[in-house]
Structure 1
Amino acid sequence: MLNIQFNSLIKLRRLMPLPALILLVTLSLPSCSLKKLVLDKTADMLSGDMGTEVFSGDDDLELVGGALPFALKLYETILSQNPEHTGLLLTTGMGFISYANVFIQTPSFMLPDDRQEEREALNARAKSMYLRGRNYLLKALNVLHPGISDLIYAGRTEDALKDMRASDVPFLYWAGTGWFAAIGVNVMDINLTIEAKLALSLVEKAFELEPDFGDGLIHEFYINYYASVPPGMIEGSEEKALYHFSKSVELSAGLNPMPYVSLAGTMAVKNQDYRQFRDLLTKALSIDPESNPKNKLACTLAQRKAKWYLAHAEDFFIEVISEGEES
């Protein structure tokens, strides 16, 4: 018999989200097998498309930012009872990495220079969240391929990744990009920065197995990667960045503003090409978020960054040319 009476359960339902209520009930179940069944079903529900699209399909950044911490702690609570559920490990890892990027690192990037102490604190927290997400994803890969994380950390990435399949691509992509993002937050952390090749190997393997994954997500990563490197460091880096930009736009049917924002904030700034910068961001802002309902959150974020870049163009360019000044 459950410890929670029916009338109390009805009252709790009005106060709690369904997954949290399921968890509360589950923890009071007397049968281990029944508890595991319910935990499995709950984890399946949270890690399915419906669970993730609740967030990705919302265009209210503040609402999602307020809800995500509760969701992430809920995921961790369920994982404490069901630690090898690879679907929920993936969702949790993605969640921490996305939260770090959207709600910690991006606001940090937008802070004025006179708030450097606050920026450093936010960046430290973002790095921690990125690595927390990466760890969940490496754990998932370890469940799927026992011993793989030891091989990766030993630098034996070729041995570690030789048996990867297309079904492993989401784990590889998110683990690699989360790891790389943590490095990018503070490149002066030498112990972490020397792991960049390990992080990159995961993304490269994902690209080898499924280059068009996520309607161009890996291409988005490579836009930033190739467009950000100093001139001459990687031969043909600008051509590669433009290739990945083109592919990302093609795969998203032109409905994703992020490739435009990424190229503007990297290559256009590096080359001090204000016209390209302005044109790319204007294009990003012309995309209707409703045209891609499942990714309204990413679209809203990209367009917020585009507006911020345009409003702060003088921070990035020696000369800002208004449309009226063009010949």
Structure 2
Amino acid sequence: MKLKNIFAVFLCLAALFGVEACGLKKIATKASTQIFYDATPSIDSEEDVELAEQSSLGFLKMLEGFYLQNPKDPQVLLLLAKSYGSYAYGFTENEILAAKSQDQAAYDRAMARAKRFYTRARDYGLKLLSLNSAFAKAQEGTLDEFQKALQSFGKADVERLFWAGIAWGNYLNFNKDSTDAIAELPRVEALFNRILALDENYYFGGPHLFFGALYGSRPKLLGGDPEKSRMHFEKAIQISGGKYLMAPVSEAQYYAVQVQDNALYQRLLQETIAADAAILPEQRLSNELAKRRAKILLEKQGLFFSQAK
């Protein structure tokens, strides 16, 4: 074989190897992501809260490494939105409540961290939903256009919609001082109305928990509605059979505080503390965190009620 032909073969092999290496890297990333996705139940069912917290942080950085390799992988984006949002909600919000009116420095640190994590969760969630071209286009459009775009999502998309929506909603909750954030709220409500229409039972009545907190966390002048809040919380509790303990804790934190029903507040929290976290094995971690939150809220009730007993 002539030298120039050998050189041409080497060039072709080098080009082929580069393409194959790139393709193999994506294949490896997708395979690893699937392993992580399949492993999430092991975290959700963990009873040791500290172990779960430490593991979750390493899990997040590994996922971000996968994201750098394949930034449009829907499973990577889903896991990042869900994991950042879940960490902030379960761990960091408990830190915020524990430090409230007790340790200002710790409170400020936890608040700043929650904002950072919810911002990341929202950004990944919106990137995930924007893989749908109709949604991506409607992001810059009117609310009507946005609502129409949501119709392009079906029941198979509920998981993506829910975790992106939860991240977005919690981001707004921690940025109430931002007029831009407040302006996004109708879109988040529209998104959850779509989820509610597709599958109200998803994640132990999660869509109802969202609306329970939404209507229970705002004064009436800003769209709050105590009766709607109570109705949604009770529906969520019914759907899980009372086994998902974050539901009664949220009802106490939002609805009972809004209507200033201290007796209901205490009952819901005391029942949660007395409940067995293993009642829902696949959500043992969430139930353990709910029990911890219930204890904190019970200790801090003087901050929420003018005449706490």
SS in 2 for 1:267: helix
> Aligned match of 1:57 in 45, 67, 86?
45
How far, CA to CA, are the matches of 1:114 and 1:140 in structure 2? 39
Match of 1:35 in 2: 25
Match of 1:273 in 2: 261
How far, CA to CA, are the matches of 2:278 and 2:160 in structure 1? 28
Matched pairs, number: 290
Q: Which has the larger radius of gyration?
A: 2
Contact 1:141–1:171 (Cα < 8 Å) also in 2? yes
Amino acid at match of 1:214: Y
Measured after TM superposition, the shift of residue 277 of structure 1 is 0.9
Match of 1:255 in 2: 243
How far, CA to CA, are the matches of 2:180 and 2:257 in structure 1? 29
TM-score between the two structures when normalised by the length of structure 2:
0.86
Percent identity of paired positions between Structure 1 and Structure 2: 27
> Aligned match of 2:34 in 40, 44, 61?
44
Corresponding position: 1:66 with 2:54: yes
Corresponding position: 1:244 with 2:232: yes
Gaps of 5+ in 1: 1-28, 322-327
Match of 2:286 in 1: 298
> Aligned match of 1:187 in 155, 172, 176?
176
Contact 1:52–1:91 (Cα < 8 Å) also in 2? no
Once the two structures are superposed, what CA deviation does each residue of 1:301-321 show, in whole Å capped at 9, x if it has no partner? 111111111122222222233
Match of 2:74 in 1: 86
Match of 1:169 in 2: 158
Gaps of 5+ in 2: 1-18
Measured after TM superposition, the shift of residue 187 of structure 1 is 0.8
Corresponding position: 1:133 with 2:121: yes
> Aligned match of 1:212 in 201, 204, 213?
201
Measured after TM superposition, the shift of residue 121 of structure 1 is 3.5
TM-score between the two structures when normalised by the length of structure 1:
0.82
Match of 1:151 in 2: 138
Amino acid at match of 2:203: G
SS in 2 for 1:195: helix
Contact 1:127–1:183 (Cα < 8 Å) also in 2? no
Measured after TM superposition, the shift of residue 69 of structure 1 is 1.5
CA RMSD of aligned residues (A): 2.2
Measured after TM superposition, the shift of residue 233 of structure 1 is 4.8
